[in-house]
Structure 1
Amino acid sequence: MVTSEEVARLAGVSRTTVSRVLSGSGRISEEVRQRVLEAAASLGYEPNVVAQSMVRQRSRTIALGLFHVEEGLSFSRLGETKHHFYLDVLKYIEEEAANAGYDLLQPSRPLGRTPESYVRTLQTRQVAGAVMLALSSTDPRIPALVQAHIPTVFIDAVGQGPGATYVKGDHVSGARQVTEHLLALGHKRMAFFVGPSSNMFGMERLFGAQQALASAGRSLDPSLVRQSGWNMQQAYEAAAQLLSERRDFTAIIAGSDLMAIGILRALRERGLHVPEDVSLSGFDDLELASYTDPGLTTVRQDRVAMGRGAIQLLLRLIQGEQHLAPLILPTQLIARQSTGPAPSV
């Protein structure tokens, strides 16, 4: 069995320092703390005090994980347009946590060397639980947290176990609603801009569109499905490429409002009018969707319920409830001026 003395020797510190780091007490520099945690991780050291603290005395701190681990410092990337949707979600996470008497903690090094070291960091900090926001489906922190039995709620990522569950919008229904809206306006050929192929929710939205088309006796044209990143520039570039190839469609369904704004620019640069020549819709209903010209038809996701609901589920997990069902939030079509009747041929 690995001892704290071995950890101290590898980290180049005293056993007292190891004890202080692993108990979360005392003033320890970040550099020393990281050396001790990495030494403990590399040796596989599991101090009993951590396990005892997790069972007997939860702190009033909730760990917050943001986005995919490879993105680096998460807070510095909140200004990126692809993350704009989550700014309000974070606001309501913070408000609900504060109302319940909890503080939020975002570790400065999200993963360290391994997902196990990330989990150990949370255990060392004696967090009560964790909220993980918009991780990629391949993020190794998802199975690590589920297996460690740290109470965890994932937002726009799927992770489930006795002490873990997730919150997300009903992407399939939302995409089905907007596709049915365009079909009712007489549109027969629609282009679809989805996110990266690895993003499960972008694929759910495409599936919802396929459902609506199938119900109307129509099929999806694979050549009119285009992938891009979630931000305006990447969607603009993907739309410019599509428009250079063909213009035999009368509507575009974008995977997000920000993508739709990029597509709107590409359409205008080529002399196409929205909605007279091409109808355009987004997804999310960001505040700016009502300020575009024309106002953007979109699908509303309830960001208030997403943030507050995640904390409410987490508190139930912290209190010992297990195997909680995920919270699937309804979505709502918001029809504005960017969609109209299909142009006559």
Structure 2
Amino acid sequence: MPPPRVEKTGVCFMIETINKTEQLKSIILEDIRNGVYSHEDFPSIRALSKKYGVCKHTVSQALFSLKEIGALKVHPGKSGTVNCDLAQKNIAVLYIGMTPLSQSEFGAELFRGIEEGIRETGKYSYNTYSLPEGDSIGSLDENLDRVHTAGILLVGSDNPYKLSCLKKYKIPFTVVGTSVNDADVSFVAPHMENEVFEEVDLFVRKGRRKIAFIGNIREGSPSSCEKTNPFFNVLKKNKIKISEKFIKKCSHLPENGYVQMKEILEAPEIPDAVFCTSDLLAVGIYRAIHERKLRIPQDIAVASCDDLEIAAYLSPSLTTVRMPRYEIGYQSVKQLMAKISGRRFLLHKIIPSELILRESI
């Protein structure tokens, strides 16, 4: 159903629709979510009739419908008065995949920032929801408590279909950890291009010319381009041509890094450096290299992204680009709180990353 079309005339809103009750219900519910009406301070039916430019009967029907979904509570004995009983205390945290965000290698630190940001508000709690990969929101339509959800944090997805679905909810939301190709969508994301460029360029400065790529390549995805573009820009700058066999596309799992690196090492010509888009891939890459009795970095240098905790404990320790995951999670909550309260905020917030030089180059 499209959003209600309203026109402001003086202090009244004239609702242009056939089904006035449903449209009025949607408008009042959105006003409640936006904090227009506070607890125990809800207008009378007469006042609502005047404000929205509809008859009292239409108001009464809309309020009854809102009562049915738990948005309002009618108090007996108070004729014509309805008190708001909507406790907008929940933030919905949406993440991709089956592993809970707090338990994943990548998401734990980011989630800690989200938790701290929500805790500091002093009035919000959160619920987490798992979403499938790709163009789907799974069972979110059925499971999300839209009435009591004040805002949404979408972690690590720039999928256009998911974004379009969230827009339809008419609930403030922010994308966490990745930029998106939608000027109207707010996000908090890292800036990694300069650091990745410097990291890959370091391969070349140390004499490496046969450089392999293992990782996530998604055309049009800003988060993917942050890592792939600087890699190929370094090759172009130094006029380095690499075999297509040195470019392996895969998702960020250790077993994928192992399988792809093993396949590369079975070819007659092997690389002298490998860049991967996640430290999790590097875990598998290390194993494949060690199984071939090759040395890091003497035979093959390795560099990566994210700076997960495991990066410092690999042998040799892994050179990587540190993504400020805690800060991204924390600042995402701050941005969302500003949206919910109607305060001014920076629509697209970029947080710098850091190149962490260790022993693998």
In 1, are the aligned partners of 2:30 and 2:170 still within 8 Å (CA)?
A: no
Deviation at 1:78, TM superposition (A): 5.8
The 3 A distance-change label for structure 1 pair 236 and 199 is: farther
Letter in 2 for 1:127: T
- 1:181-204 CA-to-partner distances (Å, cap 9, x unmatched) read 111111111001112547932343
Instruction: Identify unmatched segments of 5+ residues in structure 1.
Output: 2-43, 340-345
More helix by share: 1
Distance 1:178 1:130 in 2: 35
In 1, are the aligned partners of 2:188 and 2:351 still within 8 Å (CA)?
A: yes
In 2, are the aligned partners of 1:197 and 1:227 still within 8 Å (CA)?
A: no
Give 1:181's match in structure 2, choosing from 185, 198, 202.
202
In 2, are the aligned partners of 1:251 and 1:278 still within 8 Å (CA)?
A: yes
- Count, aligned residues: 285
More strand by share: 2
Partner of 1:99: 120
The 3 A distance-change label for structure 1 pair 108 and 280 is: closer
Letter in 1 for 2:166: L
Distance 1:159 1:195 in 2: 18
Deviation at 1:148, TM superposition (A): 3.8
Distance 2:190 2:261 in 1: 26
The alignment status of 1:155 with 2:207, answered yes or no, reads: no
Distance 1:130 1:173 in 2: 30
* Percent of matched pairs sharing the same residue: 23
Deviation at 1:322, TM superposition (A): 6.5
In 2, are the aligned partners of 1:154 and 1:167 still within 8 Å (CA)?
A: yes
Partner of 2:230: 208
Partner of 1:194: 215
The 3 A distance-change label for structure 1 pair 109 and 265 is: closer
In 2, are the aligned partners of 1:194 and 1:202 still within 8 Å (CA)?
A: no
The alignment status of 1:50 with 2:71, answered yes or no, reads: no
Give 1:261's match in structure 2, choosing from 242, 263, 283.
283
In 2, are the aligned partners of 1:110 and 1:118 still within 8 Å (CA)?
A: no
Distance 1:145 1:176 in 2: 34
Q: TM-score, normalised by structure 1?
A: 0.73
- 1:91-131 CA-to-partner distances (Å, cap 9, x unmatched) read 110011101122112258889xx869846865633322111
Instruction: Identify unmatched segments of 5+ residues in structure 2.
Output: 2-21, 39-86
- 1:59-90 CA-to-partner distances (Å, cap 9, x unmatched) read 232111011xxx4x552x764xxx41111100
Partner of 1:142: 163
Q: TM-score, normalised by structure 2?
A: 0.70
**RMSD of the TM alignment (CA)?**
3.1
